[in-house]
Structure 1
Amino acid sequence: MKNWVMALGLMALPVAVQAGELAVGDGIELLVVDGKKVQTSFWSETASVNLPAGKHQVVVRFDGELKDGAKSRIYTTRPYLFELDVPEQDAEITLPRFSTMSQAKAYFQRGPEWTLTFADGTTRTLEAVELHGKGLAAYSDMEALVADYNRQQGITFEEGYAVDLEATVVEVTEQGKVNITGEALVQLKLWYTKADAKEKAAFAEWVKTQQ
């Protein structure tokens, strides 16, 4: 019986790849790329990064000043996470232009459509995951929020590329049976990404006893 494999699996990394500029449109804040917080200066936020062609993880949010009646107010959304294939050409993450607070709120409440626009004029709709933090300071540490999501999803980074480890070792048959496949090293990486700090420390001590 033919099996189907969840998601894309490991990508073959080329020996040499070209880099393209990934930018964000007006009102969009670039937060985390491949698990690392995007560094900003005191004067301005970083609106673009250079990335080698391949699969990357990018986290953004809308953070713009909009009209709310007679006044202008800042409207900030939750962060949105994308797993996207960056091509060798420049690209930009965009949203429709909003003029009022009510317009923006209505758009995000019904599910925003994020678009990746390429230098050659072509576009692609991005599949987004809306991240939900907990507590009063839920979004004060974006790196930690993304790290927790990646741990739960079994996602790590190999040589700068986002790799879905769970997709490489979890196979589901047409009957719904789940099989664990893949090399032992990949399986070890998967379970390590799912462990918390205490479990990782205990595993590290165990490894020492095996050497």
Structure 2
Amino acid sequence: MKKVTWFSALAVLFAAGATQAATITSARNIEFLVADGKEVTFENWAPQQSIALSEGKHQLVMRFDGEVQRGSKAVIFTSRPYLFELNVDGRDATINIDANLRVKTQATSYFDDNPQWQAEFDNGEVMPLEAVELKGGGFGAYADMEALVAEYNRENGIIIDQGASKNLNDVLVEVDDQGQASIKGDALSQLKLWYTKASDQERKTFRRWIIDQD
């Protein structure tokens, strides 16, 4: 775990539109991987990491990466990455899990079950976070975390728009009391929704079509 190059760039990125930034810190042995679709990298090792985020909904990908005991030996246990949304309201927060993992068998069992991620605030408030385990396929499945997250977002109709994550299915699809779904929202938002759902080839075809309209 390392300390900050991307932090400064992220702070600048959000400063223009931010009303109030919050410092989001990882607990010990918790590692930032991706924030709002961009890989988080740090220059130097540190037991905890921090990034600055503006108010609003942000998408984070994190994992447990820490030392645990296996018999009489200390080993490093690394979990799969977990993706969740954090609604930043200007308060500083620490991202953690709800368990203190000391033994490898305990860590394996914890992450095989249903690990609870949470945001902890300075006033003692704890907010559970609904996390999704990201599963890659084959050797080097997690070598390109940005690509893995981009694929997840494409499949789920999520875009990163002006430094915040938006689920366009929630924004544009309305379900009435009878369970009937209807499309709402402006034309630009609808275009964004369908673009996220398109395959790479379909996107290329669409971009060529756009060029032909000029």
User: How far did residue 163 of structure 1 move?
Assistant: 1.2
Q: Which residue of 1 aligns with 2:181?
A: 178
Q: Which residue of 2 aligns with 1:47?
A: 49
On the 8 A contact 2:27/2:94 being kept in 1, the answer is yes
On the 8 A contact 2:59/2:86 being kept in 1, the answer is yes
On the 8 A contact 1:64/1:74 being kept in 2, the answer is yes
On the 8 A contact 2:57/2:165 being kept in 1, the answer is yes
Q: Which residue of 2 aligns with 1:5?
A: none
Count of aligned pairs: 198
- 2:164 equivalent to 1:161: yes
User: How far did residue 181 of structure 1 move?
Assistant: 1.7
| TM-score of the superposed pair, with normalisation by structure 1 | 0.88
Q: Which residue of 1 aligns with 2:70?
A: 68
What code does the residue aligned with 2:75 have? R
C-alpha separation in 1, matches of 2:54 and 2:146: 21
C-alpha separation in 1, matches of 2:86 and 2:66: 24
What code does the residue aligned with 1:114 have? W
C-alpha separation in 2, matches of 1:38 and 1:140: 13
Partner of 2:43: helix, strand, or coil? coil
Partner of 1:203: helix, strand, or coil? helix
User: How far did residue 196 of structure 1 move?
Assistant: 2.5
Cα 1:46/1:200, change in 2 over 3 Å? farther
Q: Which residue of 1 aligns with 2:195?
A: 192
Greater shift after overlay, 42-51 or 71-80? Answer: 42-51
On the 8 A contact 1:66/1:73 being kept in 2, the answer is yes
* Greater RCO, CA 8 A, separation 6+: 1
Match of 2:124 among 121, 130, 137: 121
1:109-135 deviation line (CA, Å, top 9, x unaligned)? 221111100122211111111111111
User: How far did residue 176 of structure 1 move?
Assistant: 2.6
Q: Which residue of 2 aligns with 1:31?
A: 33
Q: Which residue of 2 aligns with 1:8?
A: none
C-alpha separation in 1, matches of 2:120 and 2:139: 35
Cα 1:143/1:110, change in 2 over 3 Å? same
1:80-104 deviation line (CA, Å, top 9, x unaligned)? 0011101212100112221111111
Q: Which residue of 2 aligns with 1:9?
A: none
What is the root-mean-square deviation in Å for CA atoms of aligned residues? Answer: 1.7
Match of 1:145 among 136, 142, 148: 148
Partner of 2:124: helix, strand, or coil? coil
C-alpha separation in 2, matches of 1:110 and 1:43: 30
Match of 1:109 among 112, 117, 125: 112
Q: Which residue of 1 aligns with 2:5?
A: none
Q: Which residue of 2 aligns with 1:11?
A: none
1:156-193 deviation line (CA, Å, top 9, x unaligned)? 12211111111111122333322122111111001111
C-alpha separation in 2, matches of 1:125 and 1:43: 28
On the 8 A contact 1:30/1:46 being kept in 2, the answer is no
What code does the residue aligned with 2:53 have? L
C-alpha separation in 1, matches of 2:127 and 2:48: 23
User: How far did residue 44 of structure 1 move?
Assistant: 4.8
C-alpha separation in 1, matches of 2:18 and 2:108: 43
1:4-56 deviation line (CA, Å, top 9, x unaligned)? xxxxxxxxxx9651101001111111000000000122545871100111110
C-alpha separation in 2, matches of 1:88 and 1:42: 27
What code does the residue aligned with 1:170 have? V
